[in-house]
Amino acid sequence: MRGWIVLSLLAKLVNISTTQSSSSLTWLSYLRNRAYSHGYGRSHSQASLTAEDESSQLECPLECDCPSMYRYAMYCNNRNLQHVPFVPSRIKYVYLQNNQITGITNEVFDNAPNLSWISLHSNKLRSDKISDKVFAKLPNLVRLFLHNNNLSRFPKGLPRSLRVLHLNHNNISVVPADSFHGMSSLTALHLQMNPIEDLGNALDGLPSLTVLDLRGNRLRKIPERLPLKLSQLYLEYNHISSVPAGFLNNRPELRFVRLSHNQLTNGGIPANVFNVSTLVELDLSFNKLERIPTISTSLENLYLQANEITEFSLSSFCRVVDRNNYSNLRVLRLDANKISPQDIPTEAVLCLRLATNIDV
């Protein structure tokens, strides 16, 4: 930018011929475009630097990048930082991932009350080094990425404005009952790969939650009172052996339920618990089922591979088979069970007429 000012002064001072003028203008325009393509320059083409631009250029910690093209963003990721640098007041998006940050003190974000997006994933954050009040002071925070850290406790004082929260790949075993209190905008909650044994009623009162990822925890049962708007429920790789009757009822948005790699047996599956017409995909693979549970004719994808199923019960899919009554299953996986293709009755062709993929 300084270079350009010098050139522009020169162009005015030096008495240049027409040809020189045109070639130096070409050169200037090249410089200008190059500045744009690097995200610098914005108003330089008007050959004026307003005080605002000047300060947005200057107000950036040395260890970070603040391209003027994205004046609300500050990039401090991937540079071995051990502390959160000073955050200028205009910043809304701060990228601090892939560093060596272990703690966050109470006042680090005080200067930037409008922060809406904080990426702190893939650091070395420890719960005992995070101030309880540091996030509570950010009333516009909507995305908080804290995954891939060394947190042992659920963070306290998270703002109610959050919409997306990533806490996966930490060492969190307990989620206190009031953790999500008042978070009426939270739509996605990622808690996968933690050692959580029981969520109790922690999920109470999350009226907007649509995605809940709890893969790879130590849950023995399905969390109570699942949020009403839930559409995707991921519970793979837990220790769940049974599901409560009616746990999928009255959840009109729930489309995907994944329960593979658990300890499910038929004894733990109440009749008709999966016979709900809203479900589109049900993954029960890698469990201990001996029979095919009853499903709704609306279901499209059913994964049952790697169980101990010994019979192909057509009634699990269709109670009535005629012109108008058949299953909507597209994909059915039954491989790695104790049945073979000969165990499939011929009427299956009518009931499963839409299936393009049946693996036995």
Ligand X SMILES: *[C@@H]1O[C@H](CO)[C@@H](O)[C@H](O)[C@H]1NC(C)=O
Beta-carbon neighbour count of residue 5 at 10 Å? 12
Q: Does 298 bind ligand X (CB under 6 A)?
A: no
Q: Could you tell me which stretch among 68-76, 216-224, 254-262, 318-326 binds ligand X (CB under 6 A)?
A: 318-326
- Among the listed residues 71, 124, 137, 288, the single contact to ligand X using CB under 6 A: 124
Taking CB under 6 A as the rule, does residue 320 contact ligand X? yes
Contact range with ligand X by CB under 6 A, out of 10-18, 248-256, 317-325, 342-350: 317-325
Handedness of CA 142, 184, 227, 214 (dihedral sign): positive
Any contact of residue 89 with ligand X (CB under 6 A)?
Answer: yes
Any contact of residue 179 with ligand X (CB under 6 A)? Answer: no
Residue 8 or 152 with smaller CB distance to ligand X: 152
- How many Å is the Cα radius of gyration of the chain? 29
Stretch that binds ligand X, among 41-49, 246-254, 319-327, 350-358 (CB under 6 A): 319-327
Q: How far is the CB of 74 from ligand X (least distance, A)?
A: 13
In the complex with ligand X, which residue's Cβ is closer, 82 or 325? 325
> Per CB under 6 A, does 26 bind ligand X?
no
Reported residue count of the chain is: 360
Residue 100 interacts with ligand X (CB under 6 A): yes or no: no
Cβ-based neighbours of 101, under 8 Å, separated by 6 or more: 81, 82, 83, 84, 120, 123, 124, 125
CA distance 43 to 50: 8
The two three-digit tokens of residue 146, written as one number = 């804290």
Q: How far apart are CA 64 and CA 296, in angstroms?
A: 54
Question: Which residues, at least 6 apart from 265, have a Cβ–Cβ distance to it below 8 Å?
Answer: 241, 242, 287, 288, 289, 290
Binding residues for ligand X restricted to 235-274, rule: CB under 6 A: 272
Interacting residues toward ligand X by CB under 6 A = 89-90, 113-114, 124, 126, 150, 152, 171, 173, 272, 275, 294, 296, 319-320, 324-325
